[in-house]
A = this chain, B = another copy of it.
Amino acid sequence: MKSHRKELWFHVPTRRAFVNMTRQVEDALKESGIQEGLVLVNAMHITASVFINDDERGLHHDYDVWLEKLAPHEPVSQYRHNVGEDNADAHMKRQIMGREVVVAVTGGKLDLGPWEQIFYGEFDGRRRKRVLIKIIGE
Protein backbone atom coordinates (compact mmCIF):
# COMPACT_ATOMS: atom_id res chain seq x y z
CA MET A 1 0.00 0.00 0.00
CA LYS A 2 1.24 3.45 -0.91
CA SER A 3 0.22 6.71 0.70
CA HIS A 4 0.69 10.37 -0.14
CA ARG A 5 0.05 13.49 1.94
CA LYS A 6 -0.24 17.08 0.81
CA GLU A 7 -1.46 20.32 2.36
CA LEU A 8 -3.12 23.10 0.39
CA TRP A 9 -3.21 26.66 1.74
CA PHE A 10 -6.05 29.09 1.16
CA HIS A 11 -6.26 32.76 2.01
CA VAL A 12 -9.71 34.06 1.13
CA PRO A 13 -9.94 37.88 1.33
CA THR A 14 -13.66 37.84 2.25
CA ARG A 15 -15.52 36.26 5.15
CA ARG A 16 -17.15 33.66 2.91
CA ALA A 17 -16.22 32.11 -0.44
CA PHE A 18 -16.24 28.89 -2.44
CA VAL A 19 -13.01 27.94 -4.24
CA ASN A 20 -12.75 25.14 -6.81
CA MET A 21 -9.72 23.00 -5.91
CA THR A 22 -10.34 19.98 -8.15
CA ARG A 23 -7.19 20.70 -10.17
CA GLN A 24 -4.98 20.77 -7.05
CA VAL A 25 -6.40 17.43 -5.88
CA GLU A 26 -5.72 15.95 -9.33
CA ASP A 27 -2.14 17.24 -9.13
CA ALA A 28 -1.65 15.60 -5.73
CA LEU A 29 -2.99 12.34 -7.14
CA LYS A 30 -0.54 12.47 -10.07
CA GLU A 31 2.35 13.09 -7.65
CA SER A 32 1.30 10.05 -5.61
CA GLY A 33 1.49 7.61 -8.53
CA ILE A 34 -1.48 5.77 -7.01
CA GLN A 35 -3.72 4.02 -9.55
CA GLU A 36 -6.45 2.42 -7.37
CA GLY A 37 -7.49 3.65 -3.95
CA LEU A 38 -9.19 6.44 -2.02
CA VAL A 39 -8.51 10.16 -1.62
CA LEU A 40 -9.53 11.95 1.56
CA VAL A 41 -9.77 15.74 1.26
CA ASN A 42 -10.65 17.57 4.48
CA ALA A 43 -10.63 21.05 5.94
CA MET A 44 -8.11 21.22 8.81
CA HIS A 45 -10.04 24.17 10.26
CA ILE A 46 -13.43 23.96 11.93
CA THR A 47 -15.02 26.98 10.26
CA ALA A 48 -14.37 25.72 6.72
CA SER A 49 -15.71 22.90 4.53
CA VAL A 50 -14.64 20.62 1.75
CA PHE A 51 -17.59 19.55 -0.38
CA ILE A 52 -18.48 18.38 -3.87
CA ASN A 53 -21.04 20.12 -6.01
CA ASP A 54 -21.47 22.18 -9.18
CA ASP A 55 -19.11 24.94 -10.34
CA GLU A 56 -21.92 27.38 -11.13
CA ARG A 57 -21.89 30.95 -9.90
CA GLY A 58 -25.63 31.27 -9.45
CA LEU A 59 -25.71 28.17 -7.26
CA HIS A 60 -22.85 29.48 -5.11
CA HIS A 61 -24.80 32.69 -4.57
CA ASP A 62 -27.86 30.60 -3.64
CA TYR A 63 -25.78 28.52 -1.18
CA ASP A 64 -24.52 31.68 0.48
CA VAL A 65 -28.01 33.16 0.90
CA TRP A 66 -29.40 29.83 2.09
CA LEU A 67 -26.66 29.17 4.67
CA GLU A 68 -27.06 32.71 5.98
CA LYS A 69 -30.78 32.01 6.42
CA LEU A 70 -30.21 28.68 8.25
CA ALA A 71 -27.34 29.98 10.42
CA PRO A 72 -27.27 33.80 10.37
CA HIS A 73 -24.06 35.67 11.19
CA GLU A 74 -25.98 38.57 12.81
CA PRO A 75 -26.81 39.31 15.55
CA VAL A 76 -23.44 38.05 16.73
CA SER A 77 -24.65 38.21 20.35
CA GLN A 78 -27.15 35.39 19.81
CA TYR A 79 -24.33 32.82 20.12
CA ARG A 80 -22.53 31.96 23.37
CA HIS A 81 -19.47 30.93 21.38
CA ASN A 82 -19.02 34.56 20.38
CA VAL A 83 -17.06 35.74 23.41
CA GLY A 84 -14.12 37.54 21.86
CA GLU A 85 -15.07 35.87 18.55
CA ASP A 86 -17.80 36.36 15.98
CA ASN A 87 -17.66 33.11 14.02
CA ALA A 88 -20.20 30.79 15.70
CA ASP A 89 -22.31 30.85 12.54
CA ALA A 90 -19.29 29.60 10.57
CA HIS A 91 -19.11 26.48 12.78
CA MET A 92 -22.75 25.79 11.85
CA LYS A 93 -22.49 26.50 8.14
CA ARG A 94 -19.54 24.13 7.99
CA GLN A 95 -21.60 21.29 9.53
CA ILE A 96 -24.24 21.64 6.82
CA MET A 97 -21.69 21.70 3.98
CA GLY A 98 -19.44 19.05 5.59
CA ARG A 99 -15.81 18.72 6.68
CA GLU A 100 -14.50 16.26 4.12
CA VAL A 101 -15.01 14.27 0.96
CA VAL A 102 -13.73 10.82 0.08
CA VAL A 103 -13.23 10.23 -3.65
CA ALA A 104 -12.44 6.97 -5.43
CA VAL A 105 -9.24 6.67 -7.46
CA THR A 106 -9.63 4.53 -10.58
CA GLY A 107 -6.99 4.10 -13.27
CA GLY A 108 -4.90 6.89 -11.71
CA LYS A 109 -7.74 9.44 -11.93
CA LEU A 110 -10.32 10.98 -9.60
CA ASP A 111 -13.45 8.90 -10.23
CA LEU A 112 -15.92 11.81 -10.32
CA GLY A 113 -19.32 12.11 -11.97
CA PRO A 114 -19.67 14.49 -14.93
CA TRP A 115 -20.49 17.61 -12.88
CA GLU A 116 -18.70 16.81 -9.63
CA GLN A 117 -16.13 19.42 -8.61
CA ILE A 118 -14.31 19.63 -5.26
CA PHE A 119 -14.67 22.92 -3.37
CA TYR A 120 -13.11 24.63 -0.42
CA GLY A 121 -15.91 26.40 1.48
CA GLU A 122 -14.71 29.29 3.63
CA PHE A 123 -17.06 30.72 6.27
CA ASP A 124 -14.60 32.75 8.37
CA GLY A 125 -11.92 33.92 5.99
CA ARG A 126 -9.39 36.74 5.81
CA ARG A 127 -6.65 34.50 7.17
CA ARG A 128 -4.57 31.52 6.00
CA LYS A 129 -6.11 28.07 6.39
CA ARG A 130 -5.21 24.57 5.34
CA VAL A 131 -6.80 21.62 3.56
CA LEU A 132 -5.34 18.11 3.91
CA ILE A 133 -5.16 15.63 1.04
CA LYS A 134 -4.37 12.02 2.00
CA ILE A 135 -4.28 9.33 -0.68
CA ILE A 136 -3.95 5.62 -0.02
CA GLY A 137 -3.88 2.76 -2.51
CA GLU A 138 -1.62 1.07 -5.00
Contacts and interface: CB of A to CB of B under 8 A. Distances in A.
B101 A46 contact: no
Contacts of A104: 5, 40, 42, 132, 134
Given A58-B83, A92-B66, A101-B100, A36 B3 contact: yes
Interface in A67-99: 70-71, 79-83, 88, 91-92, 94-99
A99 B61 contact: no
Size class of the contact patch on chain A? 35 or more
Nearest to A62: B79
Contacts of A103: 40, 42
Given A46-B115, A99-B101, 8 more contacts: A40-B103, A44-B113, A45-B115, A57-B80, A59-B81, A62-B80, A100-B102, A111-B134
Interface of A: 1, 3, 5, 36-38, 40, 42-46, 51-54, 56-59, 61-63, 66, 70-71, 79-83, 88, 91-92, 94-104, 106, 111-116, 130, 132, 134, 136-138
